[in-house]
Amino acid sequence: MLFSSFCVSAQEYTTKSKKAIKFYEQAKSLFWDQKYAQSELIVSKAIKLDSNFVEAFTLLSGTYALRRMGEENLRTMATCVRINGMQYPSVYYHYAVELFDNGKYDEALANYQIADNNSRILTKALHQKVKAGIENTLFAIQLKNNPVPFNPVNIGANINSEWDDYLPSFTVDESYVVITSRIPAEGRQVMNGYSGQEDFYVSKKVDGAWLPRQNVGEPINTLTNEGAQSLSANGRLLVYTACERYDSYGDCDLYYTSKTGKSWSIPKNINKPINTRYWESQPSLSADGRILYFVSNKPGGYGGMDIWFSTLNEYGEWTIPTNMGEVINTDKDESSPFIHSDGRTLYFASSGHKGMGKSDIFYSRKLPDNTWQKPTNIGYPINSHEEEQDFIVNAKADLGFFSSDRFKGEGRLDVYQFELYEAARPLPVTYAKGIIFDAETKRKLEALFEIYDLHTNELLVQSLSDPRTW
C-alpha cells in the first residue's frame, strides 16, 4: 500500500527535482532497513524541495503508520488526497480507512462516499471494499450514538504493575487469579519497544482484597515466553501458551500443568491433535473441563486466525479439533475466546465482524441444537477504535474484566473490571466448595466426587478433591 495503492501516481516521479528524488531514494532505503525515524528526516528534505512530491508523502505516511503516529499520518494522507485525489479517487478510500482506524467516523464516511461517487474509475474489487467500508462506518456511528453502560475500575496496584498486565484468569469463586505480565528481561525484545518477556503472576483474595502479586515461578515460568492462559474453575489446572520450546510442534503450542496443594507439576505439551506445526494459542477451558477452545492459523479455517475447539472423550483424550464455523470465524482474525462457566456464552475478539476499529469484543450464545447465534458487538464505549481483546466475565455474570491502555493506570496495559450491562450477561453460575476428609483421623483425602443434574441424570462434574488444600 505504501508505494503503490495510496498516493497512486504515474510511472515517472511527480517531481522534476533531482535533489528531491535523491533524498527520496535515500529515505526509501532507510525505510526498508526499518530505520523509520531516520527515513522521516530524509524524506522531509525532499518534501521541502517540492511540496507536491506525491511519492515522498507516501513514504512519509509509511514511516508514521509503522510507528503508530496516527495524527501525523492522517495529516500526511490528507495532503496526498489534496494533491492526487481527483486524478486517483482510490486515495479517498485509503484515507477513509485510516480515518476509521483513528475513530474519526464522520470524516471516514465522507471520504468513503467520495470514492463511491467515483466508482467508475475504481476496480470492481476496490469498489466492493468501499461499499463494505461505508456499511461498517455507519454501523460504528450507530454504536457510538447508542452507548452502553460502562464504568471501568482499575483492579489495583497489587495486580497491575508499571509494565503490561493482561489476560486475567479467575477461579470460579474469584479467590485466585493468574495474569500474564510482560516484564523487563535483558536481551529480549518485545512488541512495545522494550526488552522483556511474558511470565505468569498470581494473587489470592483475602477479606475482599487482592494480596500483592507473586511470580508463579518454576517450573511454569522460564526464560522464554509463557502467557495467554486459562485457569480451570477449581484453580487446579492451567492451560497456557508457550513458545520457542524444544518439544513444541510449532512456534507456539498449548501446554498444561496441574496443582496439588501449593505446587504446580512440570508443564507438559498438550500434544497432537491440538498442537500442530502452525500457531496454537489463547486457550479457554470450559467449566467442566471437557471442551477446550483455542486460536490457530492452521489450514481448514476461514482465513487469518480462527477459533477452534476440541472435546475430551471417554478415554481422557482430546479429539481432533473442530473449526467453530463461519458464524463465528471470518476471513480476518478471531482471537482471545472465553467460554463462560455457563457453557453457553462465548466472548471473543474479531477484526472481521462489523465493529468500531481494529478489533472489537463480541459475544455469541449456544442454541439448543449446539449451533451458535450470530455474534453481537458488545457495544461502545467498551469497544472503541483501538484494539479490544482479552475480555472475560466472572461466574456470577455481573462483572466484566479486560485489559487496556486507554485509561491512566499503574503502567501500560492494566486489568480493569466493570459492571456488565444486563443484555450482554451470561447465565449466572454458582459453585460448591469444601474438603473431603477421613471421619476418624480428619486427614484430607484425594477422593473422586461427581455432580449430577437431578432432572436429567446428566453427569455434570467428575473430579478429584485436593488432599492438601482445596
pLDDT digits (tens, 9 = 90+) for 276-292: 999 999 999 999 889 99
Q: Does any domain span residue 12?
A: no
Residues above pLDDT 90, as percent of the chain: 64
> Are 62 and 175 within one domain?
no
What average pLDDT score do residues 179-204 get?
75
> Are 198 and 327 within one domain?
yes
C-alpha cell at 264: 504446580
Domain hosting residue 31, numbered range: 18-145
> Are 235 and 267 within one domain?
yes
> Are 417 and 302 within one domain?
yes
pLDDT band at 334 (very low <50, low <70, confident <90, very high): very high
Q: Does any domain span residue 186?
A: yes
On the question of pLDDT at 465 being above 80, the answer is no
> Are 86 and 174 within one domain?
no
> What CATH number is associated with residue 404?
2.120.10.30
Highest mean predicted confidence (pLDDT) among 52-56, 313-317, 334-338: 334-338
Q: Does any domain span residue 10?
A: no
C-alpha cell at 320: 481432533
The confidence score (pLDDT) of residue 8 equals 47
> Are 71 and 103 within one domain?
yes
On the question of pLDDT at 204 being above 60, the answer is yes
> Are 167 and 93 within one domain?
no
> Are 47 and 135 within one domain?
yes
> Are 222 and 263 within one domain?
yes
Place of cell 507456539: 252
Helix, coil or strand: residue 95? helix
On the question of pLDDT at 5 being above 90, the answer is no
On the question of pLDDT at 193 being above 60, the answer is no
- Among 10-14, 73-77, 213-217, 255-259, name the one with the lowest average pLDDT: 10-14
| Residue after which a domain boundary falls, among 145, 177, 208 | 145
| Residue after which a domain boundary falls, among 145, 174, 198 | 145
> Are 419 and 346 within one domain?
yes
In whole angstroms, give the CA distance from residue 336 to residue 371. Answer: 20
The confidence score (pLDDT) of residue 1 equals 45
> What CATH number is associated with residue 75?
1.25.40.10
Q: CA angle 308-310-314, nearest 5°? A: 170
Share the mean pLDDT of the chain: 89
On the question of pLDDT at 3 being above 80, the answer is no
- The rounded Cα 402 to chain-centroid distance in angstroms is 10
pLDDT band at 57 (very low <50, low <70, confident <90, very high): confident
Residues above pLDDT 70, as percent of the chain: 94
Q: Does any domain span residue 6?
A: no
The confidence score (pLDDT) of residue 373 equals 97
The confidence score (pLDDT) of residue 252 equals 93
On the question of pLDDT at 396 being above 80, the answer is yes
pLDDT band at 2 (very low <50, low <70, confident <90, very high): very low
Question: How many domains are there within the chain?
Answer: 3
In whole angstroms, give the CA distance from residue 444 to residue 459. Answer: 25
Is the model more confident about 101 or about 196?
A: 101
The confidence score (pLDDT) of residue 188 equals 54
**Which stretches does DSSP call E strand in 65-196?**
153-154, 164-170, 176-183
| Residue after which a domain boundary falls, among 92, 112, 145 | 145
Helix, coil or strand: residue 27? helix
The angle, 0 to 180 degrees and rounded to 10, between the axes of the packed helices 70-84 and 54-66 is: 160
pTM for this structure? 0.88
The confidence score (pLDDT) of residue 395 equals 94
How are beta strands 334-339 and 322-323 bridged, if at all?
unpaired
> Are 59 and 95 within one domain?
yes
Q: Does any domain span residue 320?
A: yes
In whole angstroms, give the CA distance from residue 393 to residue 399. Answer: 6
What average pLDDT score do residues 205-224 get?
93
Q: Does any domain span residue 265?
A: yes
On the question of pLDDT at 421 being above 80, the answer is yes
Among 93, 96, 20, smallest CA distance to 59 is for: 20
pLDDT band at 195 (very low <50, low <70, confident <90, very high): low
Q: Does any domain span residue 3?
A: no
- Among 113-117, 222-226, 328-332, 429-433, name the one with the lowest average pLDDT: 429-433
On the question of pLDDT at 192 being above 80, the answer is no
On the question of pLDDT at 322 being above 60, the answer is yes
In whole angstroms, give the CA distance from residue 255 to residue 260. Answer: 17
Segment 130-176, tens digit of pLDDT: 999 999 999 999 999 999 999 999 999 999 999 899 999 999 999 99
The confidence score (pLDDT) of residue 190 equals 47
On the question of pLDDT at 184 being above 90, the answer is no
> Are 176 and 110 within one domain?
no
Q: Does any domain span residue 7?
A: no
